[in-house]
Amino acid sequence: MREVALCGVAIAASAFVIVAFATLGSLGASRAKQFRRLAWEATEIEPANTAGLGHFSRPNIVDNSASCVALEFTYDGTERLSTIVAFTRRPEDLDFIQWGGPILSHLVRKGDKPKGSAAGLEGRGSATYRALVQHLPHGGSLQAKLSVTNDLTDAFPVSPPSKKGKTHPRSAATDPPSNLQVHRTDPRLNKPKHDGSVCMDLHWEHAHTALSGRPGDVYFRVAYNYTGEGEKEFCSDFIDEKVRNCGKPLTVLAAKLPTNYATICGLRPKHHIVITVSAFNCDNIHQSSSLAVHTPPNAPSVVASMVTTPMAQESVAGFRPRAVLDWIPQHDPRIAGHAVYLGLNHISTMKLLCWIPSYGSKFSNGHLELPIAYTQHTHTEDTRMYDDYLKRFPVHQEEELYITTRTTENLESPAFTFLLGSWLVEDYALKCLTSFDAPRPAYAAEDQPLAWTQAESLSLYD
């Protein structure tokens, strides 16, 4: 029998744990396999005294996939645990080895008592965490230990080994995103860019959008490509992150499935692109859906002016100040018309003032006059407005006009903006189309009917 050099053997409670390593080069194949199996089975029983292992409880494998496992554990340290280091052991391994770098630990439940209280490892003072271990072999058995550092010595908190678990032999794909749609970007945010690029909003639906730190979580990736060019990634989620990097939930929209949206910027105007939204899981299996669209045009070329006094040799009687908007009509089958919005400067509020279609309206020639009135104590700065308010003056926020070009795909160009200064639009005297599907002109100050369906809502306020 060949000699085997061992660093030490510890025997406790009818099971022994091999603490040091064997020189496998001096073992035969059968003896080496037997030695690994012996060490694997020895770690199944938790040591009787776990006080030296730190403030971790024994981790439990609560969920698994082909290459990932989710571990839940408690930790009663005085500081909140942000990352942990995982050590895994397979049947063929002699000891636990570090599996990758630090892993995010997600707080599942807070402890009932303040952290650092005199509670046991499984006591009420321990907070519960969940961690996701990735890139594991398919269909393999393993155990796991956790630590706050990459050191398994007693100098740092270390968990007892978990029970044996196993990954799935095959990866399972998630469902692809559905109901891809594009919509205009909020005109308050869609300002002209220095490089002439444009933006648009992308919506998609998926049944699984909640992130819980489990292998079944679904992540998204958005990419696009122009005709004849390679794909460009716009955004992508990171596996095991609790906050999405790609897409935001849209909770106010009535839909069959949870809806996410992303504002895609940096696009070339008036180009044909194909947008691809991919859904993937911890096993990195992607399922994709695509949508072909035309990007919106550049901001319209608008000449804005205010006529506040009568022209030469014009009678003062019957004169009404007005703001005059002139633009060059775009004769393009994809251009549906122009939208004129009224907002308050430096305040996130806005409404559709007039919708001007490209054809079939008396305003389609690119000219619009808005009645305005001069008002005192109209400000943009909060301090000046508050000062006038304390002096008992009626105060007003400065108004601002937004003019955008709208396409037949419900996309809009960046907005041309025009500040009105001390003048306010008299919307009660302005008559035009006040919604995108209005059959006839109406006064802009009239209350709009409530939108009870999604189609009506998009028609009035999209």
104-162 pLDDT per residue, tens: 999 998 875 544 444 443 444 578 999 999 999 999 899 999 998 887 776 678 888 99
129: CATH? 2.60.40.10
Q: Do residues 306 and 424 both lie within one domain?
A: yes
Average pLDDT value for the chain? 81
330-368 pLDDT per residue, tens: 778 899 999 999 999 888 888 999 999 988 777 788 889
pLDDT value of residue 307: 92
Residue 151: domain span? 50-166
Q: Do residues 21 and 146 both lie within one domain?
A: no
Tens-binned pLDDT, residue by residue, of the chain (462 aa):
333 333 333 333 333 333 333 334 444 555 555 545 544 544 444 443 333 334 788 999 999 999 999 999 998 877 788 899 999 998 888 889 999 899 999 999 887 554 444 444 344 457 899 999 999 999 989 999 999 888 777 667 888 899 999 999 999 889 999 999 999 999 888 989 999 999 999 999 999 988 988 999 999 999 999 999 999 999 999 998 889 999 998 876 666 788 899 999 999 999 999 999 999 999 999 999 999 999 999 999 999 999 999 887 778 888 899 999 998 877 788 999 999 999 998 888 889 999 999 887 777 888 899 999 999 888 887 788 888 888 888 888 899 999 999 999 989 999 999 999 999 999 899 999 998 888 888 888 876 655 555 565 555 554
Split into its structural domains, the chain has a count of: 4
Q: Do residues 371 and 454 both lie within one domain?
A: yes
64 within a domain of the structure (yes/no):
yes
**E strand map for 237-395:** 248-249, 259-267, 272-280, 286-294, 302-307, 322-327, 335-344, 350-357, 367-374, 378-379
17 within a domain of the structure (yes/no):
yes
pLDDT value of residue 452: 52
83 within a domain of the structure (yes/no):
yes
Q: Do residues 358 and 457 both lie within one domain?
A: yes
171 within a domain of the structure (yes/no):
no
Query: Of the residues 294, 322, 346, which one is the last residue of a structural domain?
Result: 294
Spell 242-251 as b/e; 16+ CB within 10 A means b.
eebebbeeee
351 within a domain of the structure (yes/no):
yes
Q: Do residues 351 and 437 both lie within one domain?
A: yes
Q: Do residues 199 and 155 both lie within one domain?
A: no
- Coil, strand, or helix at residue 424? strand
pLDDT value of residue 448: 60
Q: Do residues 371 and 316 both lie within one domain?
A: yes
The whole-model pTM stands at: 0.76
Query: Of the residues 132, 166, 200, which one is the last residue of a structural domain?
Result: 166
Query: Of the residues 275, 294, 313, which one is the last residue of a structural domain?
Result: 294
Q: Do residues 96 and 19 both lie within one domain?
A: no
172 within a domain of the structure (yes/no):
no
447 within a domain of the structure (yes/no):
yes
Q: Do residues 345 and 456 both lie within one domain?
A: yes
216 burial level (CB within 10 Å; 0-12, 13-18, 19+): middle
Distances (CA, A) of 418 to 324, 403, 415: 11, 9, 10
pLDDT value of residue 17: 35
Q: Do residues 308 and 455 both lie within one domain?
A: yes
pLDDT value of residue 378: 86
Q: Do residues 308 and 453 both lie within one domain?
A: yes
Element containing residue 142 per DSSP (H, E): strand 141-147
Q: Do residues 20 and 121 both lie within one domain?
A: no
pLDDT value of residue 16: 33
SS (H, E, C) 191-225: CCCCCCCEEEEEEEECCCCCCCCCCCCCEEEEEEE
